[in-house]
Amino acid sequence: MSQGSNFVDYVKICCRSGKGGAGSAHLHRDILTSMGGPDGGDGGRGGHIIVKGSVHIWTLLHLKYRKHIIAEDGMAGGSSHKFGKQGTDEILEVPLGTIAKDAETGEVLFEITKDGETKILTAGGRGGLGNAHFKNSVQQTPRFAQPGEQGQEVWNILELKVLADVGLVGFPNAGKSTLLSVVSAAKPEIADYPFTTIVPNLGIVSYRGGKSFVMADIPGIIEGASKGKGLGYRFLRHIERNSVLLFMVPADTSRSIKEEYEILKSELESYNPELMQKPHVLAITKSDMLDEELMDEMKQDLPNIPSIFISSVAEKNILELKDMLVKAIES
């Protein structure tokens, strides 16, 4: 399987929770009693469909081909106040950062952000009450019980927004994948043509004193991505979950560095203005081809954010870049 087909960040599934079991209308009988009082037990609850967060899963691939998720029905109640067996819950493990939505209305139901966190996506039907509940002074031997409640059948969307400490933002060929491969054990596809990265790559970056942070290489955006051009919204949404945004502009850009940064920034702002509240750091990549004099000249026209000249290939200023990023994360 290629990298692209391995990463699935959106699935639409039909969820059918279990029907509740019927309550029992049984009347007590034994050797001494031919017709005793009501002793019908309650029906069991139908199975829920539950979403559970897991740090061991990075994608929704395992749910891509499971279009119908069906939980078990509850069993009917029995005599002698015996409860019916509860329907088995269907548990769907998902990566952290998964959002559940109603497919018809688009309403966000909940978000999973912690390992082991569980939320009910589709509740099972309640079990019916047995006839023992309906006995009173007027009605000593009720011969009826409640049916079980029907389960629900709804279409839901599960959508993943990658959770990372640092999101890499830049046009195609800005050197994002190369940086990720140098600072972490991630092995992204790297080639000298636009849109090499078609899915987010995640890497764990080791830092001093045993610390580490997560870096995500978001696919290169182009002007108009916020309007759905290029790879569009599908990948911009992953940037929402990053604590710090590292803008990457190559030293050999045909525009000025400041101009390219402003274009990238305006793309993100038109998609979601809240992204402007996150700390921004600027890395000028491929700077091993620059001499000190040229760098000093370029520094005069940089945007007013923490900036650094780096070269991933020559490993120039990589440790200093990590220092800047950790400072931004911790702030």
- For residue 233, the surrounding DSSP H or E stretch is helix 232-239
The residues pairing with 49 across neighbouring beta strands, listed in sequence order, are 90, 122
Both 209 and 245 in a single domain?
Answer: yes
Annotated binding site for GTP: 170-177, 195-199, 217-220, 285-288, 311-313
pLDDT in tens, the chain (331 residues): 334 445 677 899 999 999 999 999 999 887 776 677 899 999 999 999 999 999 888 778 889 888 899 999 999 999 999 999 999 999 999 988 899 999 999 999 999 989 999 999 999 999 999 999 999 888 888 999 999 999 999 999 998 877 678 888 888 778 888 888 888 765 544 444 444 444 567 777 888 877 778 887 766 555 444 454 444 455 566 667 678 999 999 988 888 899 999 988 888 887 778 878 889 999 999 888 888 888 888 888 899 999 999 998 888 999 999 999 989 988 7
How many folded domains does the chain comprise?
Answer: 2
16 is in which domain, residue-wise? 1-160
Both 112 and 94 in a single domain?
Answer: yes
Both 15 and 128 in a single domain?
Answer: yes
Torsion of CA 259, 265, 269, 274, to 10 degrees: -140
Both 139 and 188 in a single domain?
Answer: no
Annotated binding site for Mg(2+): 177, 197
Annotated binding site: 170-177, 195-199, 217-220, 285-288, 311-313
Burial of 74 (0-12, 13-18, 19+ CB in 10 A): buried
